[in-house]
A and B are shown apart, each in its own frame.
Chain A
């Protein structure tokens, strides 16, 4: 059992190192501004007063390591700094954007597991037949499509041509649950890629397992088909699927940014894109830290789950 404990310890250590590195990287990237950072950040209106304000806000007169220490210390206390453009604390931006992002993201995750496993198992059960061929081809195809392209096409057909669903979430503010119909398209688009990849992994894992000597032995010994499928083949497909769920976090994040832009949802993705456009460094930094740490933590969790499901799977640590 010491092997498991060592794995967990190593993985936790890596997670911590990744978190620190992400924070460092984010700071270093925004530090790497060419020339006078304040002038560069002032952008299109190089108004001397604004440049001075930026310089003061970012405390550019002090050495980088002091600024980093201050910023990192602030992060530990939950102080993410204040916006350059509005002067509001970054934490406020996060609080405002959190709800509209959480609702579609949570719905997506909730639907992802049953949909992905359901399709994967269905395809594996009918391996080589029409149902499998259909699921395999469609998942393979949709898996590669960028969300924005799929999104505009769905909007064009379902919202504009057929008029079944609202094309955007405009007019609903931050309360998306007031009219659930505005959520249908965003969730559908968010689901598209992760579901495909999960379904394909489950299918491949189950088909591999069903062709394995241990399943042959179980069948030979008279275990029922359902028991072989769900008690033997499915567990073998679980570990890679759990890891895929972790990778999905990355995709979900890109998806959230794109989907919020596409459907005009005032969530964290929109906040981030606006801050990037306005070069509002503290807001970008704050959001990046939150997203980065979230990714590290979720990846860590998925790796630990995958390790528990198949301790031999050689999960990278």
Chain B
């Protein structure tokens, strides 16, 4: 309860646009309170799901979205004390699409078995002879409705042989077979690129169009904006504001809602002045390969030419599998299997970081996507951060520790947190620590690989702000920002768009976003426009 001064806005019953035609709710949560071992996860949460409407629960991670969503399914965390009321319409089972759809698909059974099991539940009364055919028909119909063509192939596969999108559609098909009246979708687009996001959004919209009530748990504002009819804003387990989506978007009453839903335009804009001067880092004729299943290699990246000037932020934009991470790893010496040259101030860098000397290591630093996995879980964060200065700049340990602490607090991490182990820090806090660890090398080039993906919007904006500040304060630092997310482009001066290992477009950020020249870039941007358009208006 840090912000007690923010008075709670009055709860508001989501009022349908036309009350007379409002269908009766198929699921309702009243005054839900869930407590585990003295910690209150949610308290006083109300939620109404109506047929054909999308109700979005938004909030940062830890705000109680998932707890509330799972309550609709009758699932609570172990050891939970629950009070309040969860009402589900009589004949309406609740479907569930988790963030990782593979987790609810039995890895040892084929898709056909997974779907048939559920179809049998509803067709159990038919005589045996007719049941088999009816079940097969139902399964195929559900697959078609879940937008999974080529049913024969899909049915034969095991879940792990399907793509993430296909897995998600199989889970949707299960919900359709079940005859679910309510479907709870938990962070269905987190970590997905813009095109995939657009498809997931279409899938959920189609679900709502069939008269199913969709409860969307998400911190992805694009999707919420595109889909939600009603919004429930959660913060630290409590509802701060709820109501029809268009009202909350246009006139949020609670300051927290305003902060959460704030437009990306509000974030720090970079210094628009184009950088001149000699390139700090030059890439010439780079071709990177991956091992292809044990035999032979496949080319995954071709960059004939790419320059990076000091003080500049270059965003590398692409979908997953486009080779953007490989590019960053080549620069940092983490991907050794490449040919061509990477020149720092005109001097070629060794391919592998095992061959780079201390100054070359320090010059190009890399920040990993998964900050938690990039720290040793056994040691306090401060010590790990300080080691950079000790190893790469020969600074004595105590001086390094002081410098590390200064850098950490400068990036907005409290001193008490710095002395803790990684397990006790949040994802956003760890990502700041990871930035500090890299900055202590005094790098010329900092490669940030998807460092904001998987963070909620408020945390993400905080990290992006830190990057913008860094660029302003350190003229000699060049930033490579690798991302799939159009929302994370704020600090970029220039954008390079990667598709299938090729740079399809490169230019000043403002120009690329406003007037893209390559069809792929246009496609990426169109999805944002489509997602960005407020629904229902």
Complex interface: stretch among B5-13, B97-105, B403-411, B500-508 = B97-105
A contact residues around B93 at 8 Å (CB) = 221-222
Report Cα–Cα, A127/B239, bound state, in Å. Answer: 39
Q: A312 and B106: CB pair below 8 A?
A: no
Complex interface: stretch among A227-235, A260-268, A284-292 = A227-235
B contact residues around A309 at 8 Å (CB) = 108
- Contacting A at CB under 8 A, from B119-136, are 121
Q: A239 and B117: CB pair below 8 A?
A: no
Distance in Å from the Cβ of B497 to the closest Cβ of chain A? 32
Residue of A nearest to B295 (CB): A6
Is A218 an interface residue when CB atoms closer than 8 A count as contact? yes
Is B137 an interface residue when CB atoms closer than 8 A count as contact? no
Q: A312 and B158: CB pair below 8 A?
A: yes
Quick one: given A213-B98, A216-B75, A227-B117, are A221 and B178 in contact (CB under 8 Å)? yes
B contact residues around A310 at 8 Å (CB) = 107-108
Quick one: given A220-B96, A231-B117, are A312 and B75 in contact (CB under 8 Å)? no
Residue in B74, B96, B117, B160 whose CB lies within 8 Å of A312: B160
Report Cα–Cα, A170/B128, bound state, in Å. Answer: 57
Q: A214 and B105: CB pair below 8 A?
A: yes
Q: A239 and B108: CB pair below 8 A?
A: yes
Is A54 an interface residue when CB atoms closer than 8 A count as contact? no
Quick one: given A220-B73, A220-B96, A311-B158, are A214 and B106 in contact (CB under 8 Å)? yes
Q: A220 and B75: CB pair below 8 A?
A: yes
Is A56 an interface residue when CB atoms closer than 8 A count as contact? no
- Contacting B at CB under 8 A, from A192-243, are 209, 212-218, 220-223, 227, 231-232, 235-236, 238-239
- Contacting A at CB under 8 A, from B138-183, are 158, 160-161, 174, 178
Residue in B104, B107, B109 whose CB lies within 8 Å of A217: B104
A contact residues around B106 at 8 Å (CB) = 209, 214-215, 218, 232, 235-236
B contact residues around A232 at 8 Å (CB) = 106, 109
Distance in Å from the Cβ of B155 to the closest Cβ of chain A? 15
Q: A222 and B108: CB pair below 8 A?
A: no
Residue of A nearest to B107 (CB): A312
B contact residues around A238 at 8 Å (CB) = 108
Residue in A6, A213, A223, A236 whose CB lies within 8 Å of B117: A223
Most buried by A among B103, B104, B121, B178: B104
B contact residues around A217 at 8 Å (CB) = 96, 104, 174
Report Cα–Cα, A212/B104, bound state, in Å. Answer: 8
Most buried by B among A213, A227, A235, A309: A213
A contact residues around B160 at 8 Å (CB) = 311-312
- Contacting B at CB under 8 A, from A45-77, are none
Q: A220 and B107: CB pair below 8 A?
A: no
Distance in Å from the Cβ of B21 to the closest Cβ of chain A? 31
Is B118 an interface residue when CB atoms closer than 8 A count as contact? yes
- Contacting B at CB under 8 A, from A2-43, are 6
Residue in B118, B158, B293 whose CB lies within 8 Å of A221: B118
Residue in A213, A214, A220 whose CB lies within 8 Å of B74: A220
Distance in Å from the Cβ of A239 to the closest Cβ of chain B? 7
Distance in Å from the Cβ of B154 to the closest Cβ of chain A? 14
Distance in Å from the Cβ of B205 to the closest Cβ of chain A? 23
Report Cα–Cα, A310/B161, bound state, in Å. Answer: 12
Q: A223 and B104: CB pair below 8 A?
A: no
Report Cα–Cα, A239/B118, bound state, in Å. Answer: 24
Q: B117 and A218: CB pair below 8 A?
A: yes
B contact residues around A311 at 8 Å (CB) = 158, 160-161
- Contacting B at CB under 8 A, from A287-317, are 309-312
B contact residues around A215 at 8 Å (CB) = 106
B contact residues around A213 at 8 Å (CB) = 98, 103-104
B contact residues around A218 at 8 Å (CB) = 106, 117
Report Cα–Cα, A92/B375, bound state, in Å. Answer: 65
Report Cα–Cα, A80/B108, bound state, in Å. Answer: 44
Residue in B104, B121, B158 whose CB lies within 8 Å of A222: B121
Distance in Å from the Cβ of A137 to the closest Cβ of chain B? 25
Distance in Å from the Cβ of A167 to the closest Cβ of chain B? 45
Q: A235 and B108: CB pair below 8 A?
A: yes
Q: A221 and B174: CB pair below 8 A?
A: yes
B contact residues around A239 at 8 Å (CB) = 108
Q: B103 and A214: CB pair below 8 A?
A: yes
Question: Residues 173-203 of chain B: 1 if any A CB is under 8 Å from the residue's CB, otherwise 0?
Answer: 0100010000000000000000000000000
Distance in Å from the Cβ of B125 to the closest Cβ of chain A? 14
Residue of A nearest to B95 (CB): A221
Distance in Å from the Cβ of B217 to the closest Cβ of chain A? 16
Report Cα–Cα, A222/B73, bound state, in Å. Answer: 12
B contact residues around A214 at 8 Å (CB) = 103-107
Report Cα–Cα, A294/B118, bound state, in Å. Answer: 43
A contact residues around B96 at 8 Å (CB) = 217, 220
Report Cα–Cα, A6/B293, bound state, in Å. Answer: 10
Distance in Å from the Cβ of B166 to the closest Cβ of chain A? 16
Residue of B nearest to A235 (CB): B108
- Contacting A at CB under 8 A, from B348-388, are none
A contact residues around B108 at 8 Å (CB) = 235-236, 238-239, 309-310
Quick one: given A214-B103, A312-B107, are A223 and B121 in contact (CB under 8 Å)? yes
Report Cα–Cα, A221/B74, bound state, in Å. Answer: 11
Report Cα–Cα, A235/B105, bound state, in Å. Answer: 13
Query: What 6 A-B pairs have minimum CB-CB distances, sorted nearest first?
Result: A217-B104, A235-B108, A213-B103, A214-B106, A236-B108, A214-B104
Q: List 21 A-B contacts (CB under 8 A).
A: A213-B98, A213-B103, A214-B106, A216-B104, A217-B104, A220-B73, A221-B121, A221-B174, A222-B93, A222-B121, A222-B178, A223-B118, A227-B117, A231-B117, A235-B109, A238-B108, A239-B108, A309-B108, A310-B108, A311-B161, A312-B158
Given contacts A232-B106, A311-B161, 4 further A-B contacts (CB under 8 A): A222-B93, A222-B178, A223-B117, A312-B158
